[in-house]
Amino acid sequence: MARKLRVWWPGAGYHIMCRGNHRLEIFRDDEDRQVFLSMLAQVKEKQPFKLHAYCLMSNHVHFHPRSRRNRHAIQ
């Protein structure tokens, strides 16, 4: 069952973690990590946020984003 959609409040900080199924690897090599970071940059263009920190590991990722204070910037 999928989790509920995350509510983004203006100016709020979040800790987001994504893990591979059964803790399997989600990144095989540095090229996979680069592709993931490129996709993250594309998302950031459409949904602006400030990324304070991130950590990419072989089987999971952590992000610490902060939403923009302007509600119109996160529609």
Q: What residue segments make up the domains of the chain, in order of their start? A: 16-74
Cα gap 50→5, rounded to integer Å:
20
Q: What is the pLDDT of residues 11-53, one digit of tens each?
A: 899 999 999 999 899 999 999 999 999 999 999 998 889 999 9
Global pTM? Answer: 0.75
Mean pLDDT, residues 59-67 taken together: 95
